[in-house]
DNA sequence: TCAAGTTGTCTAGTAGTATAGACAACTTTC
DNA sequence: GAAAGTTGTCTATACTACTAGACAACTTGA
């Protein structure tokens, strides 16, 4: 909405396969994520939003229904539509542990293993882990959440030879640190982090309980043991509406 | 495509305001951005893609037309559809200079000042620069490009008292380093960087020559002088299709 | 208590999306 | 050179999105 104030988003460019209601829902969600409308505050009325976007009120209703369906807002007949529940600040440092970050923010860390398998490392994973292409790696696909709200969907690969029981341990504990400890690796640190952004496709949308097309932070990282040898590489896809990355120099 | 292989994206969840063709276009773009299909390589044929997604070939054609319209692919009748172009690796370190990064990648750095003005620092900017709210700051809105392709649209704020001629010098040189040198500040470094993601709205789409809805990396940063005092703060919006951020620990 | 404002529901018509089939124009392979 | 494969174009139909209008049910403020 802050941007809408400086230039009306009603100046709609040609449709790019995204319905009007979806665009309005995204804009409202964006305003909420930006803190323009805080939790507990009321959205403008349907007729006002319709006027701002230059669309029919029904279209706005469709957008709000979407947000309500996602638990971002709650509509009350006669009163208005109210915003429910902020972004977690996620520091990227040499020693970043999900459960610590979430715990520090006063939320309860959770997650689940979606899938796991032993597979040969393809070119990209092999390069990241500095192993020959085709080397067996354990692949863990998981979703991480805070207070039950999914924050990221990710995949971690680690050399099977170094952590053959990775999947079983991760399924039981949900912790890479535990997986590595069981493999005799008590210390590791972040070596590199590569950040890009994407929009959620159908799979991520389902895993992260997002609408397709919502922005994601895509974080590819490599962790090394004290001798500098890569021990894991991961790709995490964070819901940008729920998480922001912090880099401290 | 790698994802399509492991679980069919044809398992479509309920439509969430995003057309099929858009979803397919996004999936193809994602595969391209992930390097699954490198520049110069050929996409699978329309009939194959249609079979994979369980949609009509025309729907695939619509998706490919979208990607072609954005210059990501080029279709050749009889031959197939080919991938064009790469992302610039953009390191985030204490001493990051746009022109150096672009030059190192063998591209020619460019850019233009879109707007500039003297304004009172609002709450957020004041906090970032550790100055009283309302203190006059110079605001510079600019677009940066490599080889003429826009990479980021951004805004930099700096205390007017320290660099009163900032706008004039930036307009002439396109360099913050030059602006600060003229103000007698020969050394500064990155203090903090905060990364999130968004989708391009109409304004950024126009400035970055993107389709609205494309993913952006949003980078908020603060630079300090050797005495630790904030000297500039910036917000940059990078086209995620063209730039990836690198964090070295 | 009443008026104004707000969300909720119903009916109806038009434009865009998705599907389907067919054929044309071109490239690649044998 | 012929067959197979690939993109390009045309016509047609069914479904969804978007618009419009109207009224119901509820809340809020004077």
User: Does one domain contain both B75 and B95?
Assistant: no
Residue B220 sits in a domain of what CATH number? 3.40.1410.10
Domain boundary among B17, B50, B83: B83
Q: How far is the C-alpha of A125 from the C-alpha of A128, rounded, in Å?
A: 5
Which of A34-48, A208-222, B52-66 shows the highest mean pLDDT? B52-66
Q: Residues B165-194: what's their mean pLDDT?
A: 86
Confidence of residue B3 (pLDDT cuts 50, 70, 90): very low
Asked if the Cβ–Cβ distance from A198 to B246 is below 8 Å, we say no
Of A48, A180, A13, A17, which is closest to residue B66 (Cα–Cα)? A17
176-195 in A: which are within 8 Å (CB) of B? 189-195
Q: Distance (Å) from CA B43 to C1' C29?
A: 19
B60 confidence band (pLDDT: 50, 70, 90): very high
Please say whether the beta carbons of A36 and B35 come within 8 A.
no
Calpha distance B221→B133 (Å, rounded): 18
Asked whether residue B152 falls in the same domain as residue B99, the answer is yes
What is the token pair recorded at B217?
């990396």
C-alpha closest to that of A200 among A150, A157, A246: A150
Taking contacts as CB-CB distances below 8 angstroms, the residues of chain A near B12 are: 202
Separation CA B215–CA B241 (nearest Å): 7
Given pLDDT bands bounded at 50, 70 and 90, which one contains residue B14?
A: very low
Looking across all nucleic acid strands, the nucleotide with the smallest C1' to CA distance from residue B68 is: D7
Say how far apart CA A132 and CA A124 lie, in whole Å.
11
Instruction: Write the ipTM.
Output: 0.52
How many angstroms is C1' of C1 away from CA of A76?
23
Flag whether pLDDT at B201 surpasses 70.
Answer: yes
Structure token pair of residue A151 = 């924050």
Among A83, A111, A126, give the residue marking a domain's end: A83
- Say yes or no: B138 and B23 in one domain: no
The integer distance in angstroms from the CA atom of B29 to the C1' atom of D8 is 22
In the predicted structure, residue A104 carries a pLDDT above the cut 90: no
- A163-201: pLDDT as tens digits: 888 888 888 888 888 888 888 888 888 888 888 888 887
Residue B94 belongs to what domain range? 88-247
Query: What CATH number is attached to the domain comprising A20?
Result: 1.10.10.10
Domain end position, chosen among A83, A98, A131: A83
Q: Does the pLDDT value for residue A13 go beyond 50?
A: no
Q: Which nucleotide's C1' atom has the smallest distance to the CA of A44?
A: C6
What's the token pair of residue A24? 């309005």
Most confident of B101-110, B177-186, B240-249: B177-186
Q: How many domains does chain B have?
A: 2
Q: pLDDT at position A232, please?
A: 93
Is some CB atom of chain A closer than 8 A to the CB atom of B224?
Answer: no
Both A62 and A137 in one domain: the answer is no
Residue A39: is its pLDDT beyond 80? no
Task: Mark whether B64 and B102 lie in a shared domain.
Answer: no
pLDDT on residue A235: 93
Question: Alpha-carbon distance A197 to A215, whole Å?
Answer: 7
What's residue B151's pLDDT? Answer: 86
Question: Which string of b and e fits A161-185 if b means at least 16 CB within 10 Å?
Answer: ebbeebbebbeeebbbbebbebbeb
CB A153 within 8 A of CB A204: yes
Please report residues of A whose CB lies closer than 8 A to that of B92: 247
């Amino acid at each position: 909405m802050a941007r809408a104030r400086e230039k009306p988003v009603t100046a709609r460019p040609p449709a790019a396969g995204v319905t009007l209601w979806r665009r309005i829902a995204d804009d409202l969600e964006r305003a909420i994520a930006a803190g323009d409308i805080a939790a507990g505050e009321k959205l403008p009325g349907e007729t006002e939003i319709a006027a701002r976007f230059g669309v029919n009120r029904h279209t706005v209703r469709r957008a709000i229904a979407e947000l309500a369906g996602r638990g971002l807002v709650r509509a009350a007949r006669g009163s208005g539509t109210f915003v429910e529940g902020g972004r977690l600040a996620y520091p990227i440092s040499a020693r970043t542990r999900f459960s610590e970050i979430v715990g520090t923010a006063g939320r309860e860390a959770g997650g689940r293993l979606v899938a796991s398998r032993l597979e040969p490392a393809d070119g990209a994973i092999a390069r990241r882990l500095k192993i020959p292409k085709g080397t067996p790696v354990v692949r863990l696909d998981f979703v991480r959440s805070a207070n039950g709200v999914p924050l990221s969907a990710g995949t971690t690969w680690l050399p099977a030879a170094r952590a053959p029981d990775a999947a079983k341990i991760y399924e039981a504990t949900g912790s890479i640190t535990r997986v590595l400890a069981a493999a005799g690796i008590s210390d590791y640190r972040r070596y590199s982090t590569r950040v890009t952004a994407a929009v959620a496709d159908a799979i991520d949308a389902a895993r992260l309980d997002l609408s397709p097309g919502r922005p994601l932070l895509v974080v590819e990282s490599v962790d090394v043991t004290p001798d500098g040898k890569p021990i894991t590489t991961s790709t995490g896809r964070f819901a940008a509406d729920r998480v922001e990355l912090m880099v401290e120099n």
